[in-house]
Amino acid sequence: MPEYKAPLRDIKFVMSELLDSERHYANLEGAEDATPDMIDAIIQEGAKFCEQVLSPLNQVGDKEGCAWSEDGVKTPTGFREAYQQYVEGGWPSMTAAVEHGGQGLPESVGLVMSEMVGTANWSWGMYPGLSHGAINTVELHGTDAQKETYLTKMISGEWTGTMCLTEAHCGSDLGILRSKAEPNADGSYSISGTKIFISAGEHDMADNIVHIVLARLPGAPAGTKGISLFIVPKFLPNEDGSIGEKNAVTCGSIEHKMGIHGNATCVMNFDGAKGWLIGPENRGLNCMFTFMNVARLGTAIQGLGAAELSFQGSLAYAKDRLAMRSLSGAKNPEGAADPIIVHPDVRRMLLTQKAVAEGARALIYYTAQQGDVVHRGKTEEERKEADELMGFLTPIAKAFLTEIGHEASNLGMQVFGGHGFISEWGMEQVVRDARIGTIYEGTTGIQALDLLGRKVLMTQGESLKRFTKLVHVFCKEHAENEQLKEFIEPLQAMNKEWGDLTMKLGMSAMKDREEVGSASVDYLMYSGYAVFAYLWARMAQVALDTMADGTTEETFYNAKVQTARFYFKRMLPRARGHAESMLAGSDTLMAMPEEAFAF
C-alpha cells in the first residue's frame, strides 16, 4: 500500500500563496484564532496523525472489512483505537461553534484535515466525516433543546452522526420515499421504515449514533413537498444527557461492496423508533440540503485523495522500477535498464495524476473559502455572493473531481503494470475505493442536471457569469504578460466559448426539455476543465512571479509551471470533445425506441 505522506508544501502553496488564506481569515467574523502560526501547527499535527495512525490501517480495513452480528457491527482492527486518539486530539471539534464546545475555526481549515484523513484512509475517515453534516444540520435547524442534547456530544466526537435518505425503491428521487413518522403524545414521533446504503450507520467506535432521517408525516403532501426531517438516536438520551435505553433502530445487515470495506454500509431498520422533528413540518428536504451540500464537497475530496495517493504510490514505483532503455539513450548506464520514469508514457500518467491532485486541491480549497464567507462574511452582500458562487462550484467539484480522480487512480495502477493488479501493492484498492465517489451524494448525472438545469439555465446564466467574470478580470490583468500568454490566450477563448455554448443549450432547451439531460454531463465535464484552466493559470502566475522575485525553491515553482503547461496542452483539449457532444442533440440519445434496446 502506498505510504501516505501529507503534501504539506503544496497545501501551504494553495492556502497561503494562491488563495492568501491569511488575508481571507482576517476578513472573517470570529476567525481571530486562525493565524498563520495556528493553522500551520494544526496542519503539521494533523499530518502526523494521518501518516502515523491512519495510513497503516488503510490496507487492514480493506482486508478485514466490518463484521455484522445481532449485537452490532465490529470495525476492523485498530479503527476504534484510532478514533479514540482522534477524539482525544480534539479533531472533531475544530470548526464547530465555541458555545457548544467547538474551537470555532473556519470550515476551510477543517477541510484541509479532511483531505489528509481521507487520503490516508478513506474508509476510516467516513465515520467522523459524516458527523460534520449532521452537526451543521442540528446547529442550523434544531431547537435549543435539541442543540443542548446532541451538539456537545457530537462536536466532541463522543457521539457520531449519519444521514438516512435512501430506500430500496428510491435513490436520488426522494419524492417517493415511504418511511413514516407517527406523532406520539409526548411530542416525539414514531419512525418506521428501512433505509439502505447508510455509511457508518452502525459501528463500535462511538458511544451513540445520531441518525438524521427523512420520513413522511400523516397526511403529508405527495412528493418532495411532503418530507420531514427527524433526529433518531441509537440510544435515547436521558435528561442529564447520558445514554439511556436502546431505541428501536437496528442494523439489519451490511453491504458487501467493491471497495471502502473498512466502512460499514448499512441497511437500517426503524421499527417505531423514537424521533424528534427537526425544522418545520414538510420542509425536511430543504433542511437536509444543509447536510447534503457539506457532504458533496466532502465527497469531492475523495477524487483529490484518490489522485494524490495513487500519484504518491506510482511516483515512488516509477523511480525504482527498471525496465527498458530510454529512446534517447541510457539514463542509468550502470544498471540493467532505466527507471520507468524516463519513458514518455509513464510521464504522461504521472503528470496527469499530479495535475488532477493539485488542481483538485486548489478547487476544493477555493470553494471552501466561499463557504467560510457564507457563514462568517461581514456583509450580507458578500455572504450572498459567496453562497451563489459556492452553489455553482459545488456540483462541479463533486462530480468532475470524482470522475477524474478515479481516472487518476487507474493511471496509478497502470504505472505498476502487472504489479498494480496484485493486492499486496495496494494500488488496486485505491481504484476500488475511489469508484463509489462518482455515485454517492448524487451521481455525476444528478450533479450535472443540478449544474446545467438549476444553477445555470434557471438563473438565466447568472451563476455562470459570476464565475466567468472572475476569469475575465484575471485574463485582463495579465493580458500583457508574455510569460503567461500560453495560458491566458486559451483561457480567454474558452471563457467566451463557455458562455456561447450555454446560450446555445438554453435556446435548444426552450424547444425540447430533453436537451438539458442530454447535454448535462458533457456540460459539467467541460465546466470542470474550464475551472481547472483558470486555477492552473493562476498557479502558474504565482509560480512565475515568485521565481522572478527570487526563491530558493526553484524546482518546486518550476514544476508548477511545467504541470500547468502539461494541463493546458494535454488535458484541456479534452473539453473540445465535450463541447461537440453537448451540442449533438437529444435525438442521438432519445430517438431509439425502447424495444430496439434488445439483445
DSSP string, 467-503: HHHHHHHHHHHTTT-GGGHHHHHHHHHHHHHHHHHHH
In a domain, 183, yes or no: no
Domain harbouring 450, CATH code: 1.20.140.10
The pLDDT value recorded for residue 497 is: 98
Contact predicate 231/212, CB 8 Å: yes
Query: Is residue 290 scored above 80 in pLDDT?
Result: no
Instruction: Measure the CA–CA gap between 520 and 23, rounded to whole angstroms.
Output: 36
Q: How confident is the model at residue 382 (pLDDT cuts 50, 70, 90)?
A: very high
Kindly report, residue by residue over 104-155, the tens digit of the pLDDT. Answer: 999 999 999 999 999 999 999 999 998 988 898 999 999 999 999 999 999 9
The pLDDT value recorded for residue 162 is: 95
Average pLDDT, the chain: 96
Instruction: Measure the CA–CA gap between 426 and 58, rounded to whole angstroms.
Output: 9
The pLDDT value recorded for residue 1 is: 81
In a domain, 464, yes or no: yes
In a domain, 405, yes or no: yes
* Residues in Cβ contact with 464 at an 8 Å cutoff, skipping those fewer than 6 apart: 392, 455, 456, 498, 499, 502
Query: Is residue 61 scored above 80 in pLDDT?
Result: yes
* Residues in Cβ contact with 221 at an 8 Å cutoff, skipping those fewer than 6 apart: 282
The pLDDT value recorded for residue 45 is: 98
Q: How confident is the model at residue 173 (pLDDT cuts 50, 70, 90)?
A: confident
Strand, coil or helix: 390? helix
The pLDDT value recorded for residue 285 is: 86
Q: How confident is the model at residue 172 (pLDDT cuts 50, 70, 90)?
A: confident
Count the domains in the chain: 1
Q: How confident is the model at residue 322 (pLDDT cuts 50, 70, 90)?
A: very high
Q: Can you give the residue range of the structural domain that contains 361?
A: 290-582
In a domain, 481, yes or no: yes
Query: Is residue 207 scored above 80 in pLDDT?
Result: yes
Query: Is residue 289 scored above 80 in pLDDT?
Result: no
Pairing of β 159-164 and β 208-215: parallel
Q: What is the pTM of this model?
A: 0.97
In a domain, 249, yes or no: no
- Listed residue (403, 410, 408) closest to 528, CA to CA: 403
Kindly report, residue by residue over 188-202, the tens digit of the pLDDT. Answer: 999 999 999 999 999
The pLDDT value recorded for residue 294 is: 72
Kindly report, residue by residue over 548-590, the tens digit of the pLDDT. Answer: 999 999 999 999 999 999 999 999 999 999 999 999 999 999 9
What is the pLDDT averaged over residues 234-245?
Answer: 95
Q: Which residues of 415-433 are buried (b: 16+ CB within 10 A; e: fewer)?
A: bbeeebeeeebbbbbbbbb
Q: Which of 441, 480, 489, 554 is catalytic?
A: 441
Kindly report, residue by residue over 496-549, the tens digit of the pLDDT. Answer: 999 999 999 999 999 999 999 999 999 999 999 999 999 999 999 999 999 999
Report the percent of the chain where pLDDT is more than 90.
Answer: 93
Kindly report, residue by residue over 547-557, the tens digit of the pLDDT. Answer: 999 999 999 99
In a domain, 323, yes or no: yes
Q: How confident is the model at residue 171 (pLDDT cuts 50, 70, 90)?
A: confident
Is 441 considered catalytic here? yes
In a domain, 92, yes or no: no
Calculate the alpha carbon distances from 144 to 138, 148, 293 in Å: 10, 6, 23
In a domain, 107, yes or no: no
Report the percent of the chain where pLDDT is more than 70.
Answer: 99
What is the pLDDT averaged over residues 365-386?
Answer: 95
Return the C-alpha cell found at 126: 467516513
